[in-house]
Amino acid sequence: MALAKLKSDTTEARLAGVTLPTGAAWANAARADAMARVREMGLPTKRDEYWKYTDPTTLTDAAAGKAALFHNDEAALFDAVDRVRVVFVDGVFDAEASDDLAAEGLEIERLADAMAADIHWAKDIYGVLEARGQKPVPRTLAALNTAMATDGVVIRATAKAAKPVNLIYLHRDETSDAVLHNLVKVEAGAEVTLLETGPAAARFSKLLEVDVADGGTFHHVRAQGRDHERRAVTHCFARIAAESTFKSFTLTFNGVLTRNECVLEIIGDDATAHVAGICVGDGKDFHHDDTVFITHDAVNCESRQVFKKVLRNGATGVFQGKILVKEGAQKTDGYQISQSLLLDDDSQFLAKPELEIYADDVACSHGSTSGAIDETALFYLRSRGVSHDDARNLLTLSFLAEALEEIADESLAEDLRDRLEGWLARHR
């Protein structure tokens, strides 16, 4: 009873004075349904099973905390890539800074325009995949995003896209509280790459729903950062059909609190789903949480979860990953690995790996480790003239290599590798 009262009070405090956005009839219904889910489930507290390692208070407070702006003179990430840039400033679409949204093999619109149309393909996705992902674990902050979001993009890939789409999130207001909701529909046989970069806001809620049809391919590469005081909660819900491919990679720098949730549902035979991530954290105020749930509900499918964290000076990393193999999902190949490299005695890594299997012809495995730099390898490099700091950085990059290899495009992986080297050089 005490927990129910706490959740109820937290929810009502957050929703006090909230008015739902309006649009077409279907959009209004989707938002109302999402708000009903929020009230039914209640916003999370630290006493919820999947929030016991991460305190959600600053994500559920009615007002966002202040986050100082971060300035750096580095070139924009993926600046050398020929891409379609879609820019948001503190959660609001910036048409002048964005490229022309017309692109070969793609249809790109602003979410607000799609939600105002009486007939739109977004009706079959907006809030639908999020609602499917609410069981068996409630994800109330995702439902709150569906209810409240007014901006974002909707992307429909009709063929192999000529260029990737780069969503660029700029943070310019120290108290901004941004809510973005993006949709991607990959038609049968089509292919698209989605890039996401930037800190976005002082507090950021972002939800991505992806529907990959038979034979479709979706690549996702995301870099979160670099604001030191940023707080963010992100969700990705995907439905993956037969013979299709879904691959997502996230690199996280800095931030006070980051919670990334990924919920994938494999519904078609011979499909592939990979989700991977790297975070590098420095300082006792750094807290990073990856929570993943992959459901196998088809035959002869493959999933991979590869997560690596480098933590120092009291930083905290969390991984909660689950593979659910339903009855009849024979010949499933599920792989999960979560590892942390602790560069001092003050940092900590908290892991909860899970397998739940109801089929008998499967190959599923999970592993989780925490450790320090290999002193033998460090001695070997130093004995050959490599400085202590350079040797440690080389071993750290080697530790992270398995996750970077999950990025299909080597040029994108190389760009992120360069950023990692720069971060390690600055945090010697």
String of DSSP letters for 290-312: EEEEEEE-SSS-EEEEEEEEEEE
- Whole-angstrom Cα distance, residue 68 to residue 231? 11
Closest CA to 164 of 242, 217, 224: 217
> 115 falls in which pLDDT band (50, 70, 90)?
very high
pLDDT of res. 1: 61
Give, in degrees to the nearest 5, the angle at Cα 73 between 70 and 77: 90
Structure tokens given for 373: 């730099």
* 162-191 mean pLDDT: 97
- In this structure, what are the phi and psi dihedrals at residue 90, rounded to the nearest 5 degrees? 50, 40
Res 2 pLDDT > 90: no
Residue type (1 letter), 393? N
- In this structure, what are the phi and psi dihedrals at residue 297, rounded to the nearest 5 degrees? -135, 35
In Å, what is the CA distance from 18 to each residue of 96, 204, 267?
A: 30, 17, 36
Dihedral of the alpha carbons of 151, 91, 139, 43, in degrees to the nearest 10: -110
Which helix (DSSP H) or strand (DSSP E) does residue 379 occupy?
A: helix 375-383
> 47 falls in which pLDDT band (50, 70, 90)?
very high
> 254 falls in which pLDDT band (50, 70, 90)?
confident
Closest CA to 268 of 293, 238, 301: 301
Strands 272-282 and 302-312: parallel
Measure CA 81 to chain center: 21
> 326 falls in which pLDDT band (50, 70, 90)?
very high
Contact 237, 208 (CB under 8 A): yes
pLDDT of res. 46: 92
* 284-305 mean pLDDT: 98
> 426 falls in which pLDDT band (50, 70, 90)?
confident
CA torsion sign for 75, 76, 78, 79 is: negative
Q: Which residue has the tokens 């599923």?
A: 364
Q: How high is the mean pLDDT of the chain?
A: 95
Closest CA to 151 of 21, 263, 28: 21
- Helix, strand, coil percentages (3-state) for the chain, rounded to 5, are 25, 40, 35
Enter the DSSP assignment of 386.
-
3-class DSSP state of 163? coil
Give, in degrees to the nearest 5, the angle at Cα 401 between 207 and 254: 45
* 360-397: pLDDT as tens digits: 999 999 999 999 999 999 999 999 999 999 999 999 99
Print the SS3 string covering 20-60.
Answer: CCCCCHHHHHHHHHHHHHHHHHCCCCCCCHHHCCCCCHHHH
As a whole-number percent, the residues of the chain with pLDDT over 90 amount to 89
- In this structure, what are the phi and psi dihedrals at residue 4, rounded to the nearest 5 degrees? -60, -40
412: Cβ contacts below 8 Å, ≥ 6 apart: 78, 81, 195, 221
Residue 413: how many other CB atoms lie within 10 Å? 18
Residue 19: how many other CB atoms lie within 10 Å? 6
Contact 108, 157 (CB under 8 A): no
E runs forming strands in 53-161: 84-89, 92-93, 106-110, 153-157
E runs forming strands in 105-164: 106-110, 153-157
Which helix (DSSP H) or strand (DSSP E) does residue 15 occupy?
A: helix 2-15
Give, in degrees to the nearest 5, the angle at Cα 393 between 390 and 398: 125
pLDDT of res. 310: 96
Closest CA to 245 of 277, 278, 270: 270
